[in-house]
Chain A
Amino acid sequence: MSQQNAVEVIDVSKNFGSYQALRSVNFEIRENEFFTMLGPSGCGKTTLLRMIAGFETPDRGKFLLHGRDIVDIPPHKRRVNTVFQSYALFPHMTLAQNVAFGLENLGWERARITARVGEMLERVHMGAFANRKPEQLSGGQRQRIALARALAPEPEVLLLDEPLSALDLKLRQAMRDELRTLQRDTGITFVFVTHDQEEALDMSDRIAVLGSGEVQQIGTPSEIYEEPSNQFVADFVGETNFFEVEVLESTEKTATVRTPFGQVISVPSSTHVLPGKATLSIRPEKLNLGDQAQGVAFQAEVVKKHYLGGYSHYQLSVGGVEIRASRRNASREGDMISVGSTVHVGFIEGSARVLAA
């Protein structure tokens, strides 16, 4: 083993009453990585995070923190810190007192605490606010203090529970950069929970997509987006078109299929599909329209058009099959495609993908 994993999740299951929140989940989080658990509401991602923190106990399975089983260790003895969705800054303490809180409980000396608190506040650019109370801060500032407070004790792993969800759009984008920088600078493993795919793709080293209490796929952002392992992932991360196709021939990694538009093409495949019916996924931006059309080509009728400035989204119809396509408006010519007209549509074989159900 070249490097120890920061966290290992081994066969973890959890029920809330009759509701199966997690079923036999297995994965590991590597040392020093920015790891994201991405999924829709109710997928179990927050439950997993709270289990690592120690606020919930799994019904079955275990968690290893740097190789040690932590299930029986109470939360206040786990070297893991959390940035809460609500930030949970103690309203009766100043910011400095908030940041010092964990260090005091760890029994640090006063002088060392003072130094560390100053250092952390500087690091999140809040040095001038040490003696303010949380109620005097904006959302973004609270977020920074919550980060400083959780990072101050140098946890083995930092857990972040949708920390950006309470911020407005502009601030959220700025905070992404800050979080990423902070992770690189401190070298601490970040475990980030979100339902926002853009956040996940932007910040993460690796992403675990969770759905229905199971891990659907683990991989780098581009693996998740370009090589989704099943329909759930392709549908949840980004937008896509699904077509029913007929598999003629297949190998482990590719399949030769007949499209509903008649062409026989050879495309990558997420699993070794059996001959017969299968689902082909192709993302809207991989469909090229009009003068940009190339590769496998067919004709479609434009049903609806949404002009969004830099892009236009089109809803097309091909022999009764509805598909979505998007086109970058590199020049004003894009405007020439109008509702009711017929356009050329094309895609490169490698950009489509046959998916497991």
Chain B
Amino acid sequence: MSETSENPTGATRVQRRRRINLPYLGLAPSWALMGFALILPIFIIAAVSVAVRGAYGGFDWGFDLSGYRQILFNEGWTGEMEFTPQYLSIILRTILLASVTTLLCLLLAVPVAYWIARQPGNRKSLLVFLVTLPFWMSMILRVYAWMIILGKDGPLPRFLEVFGAPSGMTLMYNDGATLAAMVYTYIPLMVLPVFASIEKLDGPLIEAAHDLYGNRWTTLRRVILPLTAPGIASGAILVFVPALGAVLEPILMGGGKQMMMGSLIQLQFGGGRNWPFGAAIAMTLMIVVMLVLIAVALRSARKEAEA
């Protein structure tokens, strides 16, 4: 038994003599890189979002909220402001699609993760490997695969023709197609953390629940799900955040008309069309993501305080 006050893994670790005495020097490169390539640019985006749109693309410094105003209003011929839901609906669709993606991933991931966790050792590692594998494939290829499957004369429309669907049909260019590709690209991010927390579930806990007269449903609801909540929460964040910023899926699967915030931003900068407006949308997206992350952080902090 080791002594609590001197336990090598305990709180007094800080007191132990370390090999690296120059931690600040070690941290300097990461601060420099992130400061230059990320933190500084984020402030620049904030500045550009209130800049004046340049005559030939780009922008001029200044203070002009028209980038943000444009999200909700359109300037009419006579200069009056007209409410246009066009961009607001893109923002709402983005949040909706990301939420539905997260929900579908969750519904699929929990049973699969539970099933994998119950497999014997070797097969379990293999299955986890198989879940991870597609994630190592290029994202653009994974979306492309769905273009083939759902596209004109693709395997799925062909299959549906057998059941009387019209021939030459395409399943592409709608929210459903975008959703299919999104769930497909992000699902491993949900399965892995959920699996990790289910695997930690102690076998005797489930047996104890049954021993105390709980049936399968009660056990699932009152023991398994509460104990896997941390895994589900981190999986949900891992899926929801990139889903909010999805670019490829709406461009390729939605076909340009069914836009999301990511593809809208891409469009504003890609063509060099309206940087301040694009920056305003980017700021909006970043704020939505931050709100989600802060809400989750506060929730987990409160949970920790309760425990």
Contacts and interface: CB of A to CB of B under 8 A. Distances in A.
Interface of A: 16, 19, 21, 41-47, 50, 54-57, 74-75, 85-86, 162, 165, 195
Interface in B1-58: 1-6, 8, 12, 15-17
Nearest to B2: A85
A107 B38 CA distance: 48
Contacts of A42: 3-6
B2 A46 contact: yes
Contacts of A46: 2-3, 6
Contacts of B6: 21, 42, 44, 46-47, 50
Contacts of A54: 17
Given A16-B12, A55-B16, A56-B15, A162 B2 contact: yes
A56 B8 CA distance: 12
A-B residue pairs, 7 tightest by C-beta: A46-B6, A41-B3, A42-B5, A42-B3, A55-B17, A16-B12, A47-B6
Interface residues on B, range: 10 to 19
Interface of B: 1-6, 8, 12, 15-17
A45 B17 contact: no
A355 to B, nearest CB: 25
A56 B17 contact: yes
A21 B16 contact: no
A199 to B, nearest CB: 13
Contact of B15 (A16, A41, A45, A162): A16
A165 B1 contact: yes
12 contacts: A41-B2, A41-B3, A43-B3, A45-B3, A46-B6, A47-B6, A50-B6, A50-B16, A54-B17, A55-B16, A55-B17, A56-B15
B240 to A, nearest CB: 39
Given A41-B5, A75-B17, A165-B2, 10 more contacts: A19-B5, A21-B5, A42-B3, A42-B4, A42-B5, A46-B2, A56-B16, A56-B17, A85-B2, A162-B2
Contacts of A21: 5-6
Contacts of A165: 1-2
A47 to B, nearest CB: 5
A41 B16 contact: no
Nearest to B12: A16
Contacts of B12: 16
Contact of A16 (B1, B5, B8): B5
